[in-house]
Structure 1
Amino acid sequence: MPKILVTGGAGFIGSNLVETLVEQGEDVTVLDNLSTGTKNNLQKVIDEVDLIEKPCSEIPNLDIEKPDKIFHIGIPSSSPMYRENPLLVGSAINEFIKIMEFAKENDSKVVYASSSSMYGKCEPPHSEDMEIEAFDYYTEARLAMERLAKVYHDLHDVNSVGLRFFSVYGPHEKAKGKYANVLSQFYWRMKEDKRPVIYGDGTQTRDLTYVGDVVQALLKASEKDLGYDMINVGTGKETSFNDIVGILNKKLNKTIEPKYVENPIENYVSRTLADLTKAKKLLDYEPKVELEEGIEKIIKNN
């Protein structure tokens, strides 16, 4: 049976992926230091996976059977993490190199998490052929990983696909705490009758993507032989923060007004909207979960 390695497999996106892989009967090893993940996220499948509680930096020293596929999701995934600790840039890049070296040695296919944040200075809709540039610590790390993936393909024929995720939300996100998606943070506050805090006037938007759709994109990407590529994963729809609060009020049967505060963040991204042309063409990817349905799912699971 093919072997699959999932880094960050006890985290938010990773654990949702691991559950699906196990349901499909795959042989899965999870590598996670549990910094923003938790064993609770794997409670349904914990007896059916090999969990290694180590950081990705330790992969050269670990006894991991040759994986056919590597899903590298265990990358610090929120811009505030990097603002608080700029040294994460170096560690994230170095861990990525260790993953790619491991893939080179084992002839493994790699699918890794990239980010829509790199489109921060581009006008939406955001397509993969846009000229992007790093504008903070987080985007510098992600852009460097994408460039390194090309280097590993050109020099060593490592087959990889980077998926630029757009604002992912869904079950198993609680362990991320303040680094979770804005929708989830609004929901957690509002279910306790607390006012969600919005920077600015609430007209900023996000392309909100349910984690189940992201998992399907990850699986589809792992089945393709694309050599080296970058592909958007979103919904192709944008929703304002004000509308998020409105939908949550409707679903929770509440009438909570948000608290508007001055935006303290430099280089704030005002809109995200995925162009899915490439994802549809190369992966046959089509998002299936509409926002209201996704919100109902997180309410049911929390």
Structure 2
Amino acid sequence: MMRILVTGGSGFIGTNYINFLVQEGKHEFINLDIKPPRNKAHQAFWRECDLLDRPRLEQIIKDFKPTHVVHLAAKTGLDEKELSDFAANIEGVENMVRILRETPSVERAIFTSTLLVCQMGYVPKDDTEYKPTTLYGQSKVCGEKIVRSAKDLPYAWTIVRPISVWGPYAEEPYRNFFQSVARNWYFHIGSGHYKRSMGYVENMVNQIHQLLLVPAEKMDHKVFYLGDSPPIDLYDFANEVQKKLGVKKIRRLPLWAVQCIAKCGDMLKAMGWKKFPLTSFRLNNIRTEYVFNLNPILEVSGPLLYDYQTGIERTIQHMCEMGEI
């Protein structure tokens, strides 16, 4: 039996991982997070803590004596102006690495990064090639370098980079995506065919968990992209969501018209309206194709638990239960 410390267990991926652990029922675990759980059934596992509060962080870890650590907690966002706004991703990682070094019970740790350590759509040639274009991505590069530079850590560690995660408890952009299709607001852009690697969240938390179970030599000092294979065509994905919801067929708009809408979104955002659903940045992300080699994680974790059609069904069911669609 493992004693698993999950940081960020109140977030999107973290909530799904806590669900996974509850359903499996084999291990002791706690959720260390600055925010309360999204799922009220997880309240008993929550320990409130800021990663920047080192004394409290250290006390919780020392008291729990984890054998395994899944570090998911992070500051996200694209509107921040200073790298210091992402201190949780830098100083927070430093605190975790140092405290875990001093915790003899720890055998293994997973540190979560992001594909945005490089610009959207760029597949790096190796694990240490970095090309961030956002402060968030830059902060995650700093976090990765902190882990790599820590010498002679007494536990096995790995870095994971989740890819375009979607599913129950999703945040932007995929929650808005499902809601837009449900309300007949979504439209195919131009041809609509943009192929990309994506990751259904319940598949992803299984991949994370399997990294805690495999022999250490298969994961130690390695980087894994997390996601589903094969890649998905966004056109097919959107049409499948439409069919599962039973709503009207998705319309198509020419690219030039969508670019005009995105420009309007840029102006509204500059005026302070941050909730407009489409900006030039978001449009570029939608149209950017990227396909990552996911064989390394699939060789470790085994086959996916769910295909994307089943993932869509489970996501719609959850969103209906939560009153989100």
Tell me, in whole angstroms, the C-alpha distance in 2 between the residues paired with 1:76 and 1:202. Answer: 32
Q: Is the contact made by 1:114 and 1:165 (CA closer than 8 Å) also made in structure 2?
A: yes
SS in 1 for 2:112: strand
Cross-structure match for 1:272: 290
Which amino acid is the alignment partner of residue 83 of structure 1? D
Higher alpha-carbon Rg? 2
Q: In the TM superposition, what is the alpha-carbon distance from 1:85 to its structure 2 partner? A: 4.4
- Structure 1 residues 121 and 207, CA, compared in 2 at 3 Å: closer, same or farther? closer
Native 8 Å contact 2:11 2:38 kept in 1:
no
In 2: Cα distance, 1:127 partner to 1:280 partner: 20
Query: Which of 185, 190, 213 matches 2:176?
Result: 185
CA shift in 2, pair 1:30/1:60, >3 Å:
same
- Post-superposition shift, 1:102? 1.5
- State the Cα distance separating 1:88 from its structure 2 match: 2.8
Would you say 1:244 and 2:237 are equivalent positions? Answer: yes
Task: Indicate if the aligned counterparts of 1:237 and 1:274 stay in contact, CA closer than 8 A.
Answer: no
AA aligned opposite 1:207:
S
Mapped partners of 1:44, 1:171: distance in 2: 15
What is the deviation of 1:70?
1.2
Displacement of 1:14: 0.6
**Maintained 8 Å contact 1:127/1:274:** no
Q: CA deviation at 1:84?
A: 2.9
Asked whether the equivalents of residues 121 and 132 of structure 1 are also in contact (C-alpha less than 8 Å), the reply is no
Question: What are the equivalent positions in structure 2 for 1:223-262 lying under 5 Å apart?
Answer: 223-224=213-214, 225=216, 226-255=219-248, 256-257=250-251, 260=258, 261-262=261-262
Residues 177-234 of structure 1 deviation map (CA, whole Å, 9 limit, x = unaligned): xxx2x3332112332x241377887444432211111111111112242331111111
Q: Is the 8 A contact 1:127 1:276 kept in 2?
A: no
Match of 2:49 among 51, 54, 60: 54
Contact 2:52 2:92 in 1 (8 A): yes
Structure 1 residue 267: Cα displacement: 11
After TM superposition, where is structure 1 displaced by more than 6 Å over at least 4 residues in a row? 197-201
Structure possessing the higher relative contact order (Cα contacts under 8 Å, 6 or more residues apart)? 1
Deviation at 1:142, TM superposition (A): 1.5
Residue identity in the other structure for 1:116: L
Q: Which residue of 1 aligns with 2:310?
A: 293
CA RMSD across the alignment: 2.8
Are the aligned partners of 1:6 and 1:30 in contact in 2 as well (CA < 8 Å)? yes
Instruction: List alignment gaps of at least 5 residues for structure 2.
Output: 263-278, 320-325
Residue 95 of structure 2 corresponds to 98
- Identity, in percent, stands at 20
1:266 and 1:189 map into 2 onto residues whose CA distance is 15
Instruction: Please tell me the residue identity of whatever aligns with 1:72.
Output: H
**TM-score, reference length from structure 1:** 0.82
Q: Which residue pairs with 1:171 in the alignment?
A: 168
Letter in 2 for 1:31: L
| Structure 1 residues 218 and 128: CA distance shift in structure 2, 3 A | farther
Distance in 2 (CA, whole Å) between partners of 1:168 and 1:10 is 16
Q: Report how many aligned residue pairs link the two structures.
A: 283
TM-score by length of 2: 0.76
CA contact (8 A) 1:135 1:267 kept: no
Q: Name the CA distance, whole Å, in 1 between partners of 2:282 and 2:311.
A: 30
In structure 1, the gaps of 5 or more residues are none
Which residue number in structure 1 is paired with residue 200 of structure 2? 210
Give deviations 1:238-279, integer Å, cap 9, x for gaps.
334433322221111112436733352299451232202222
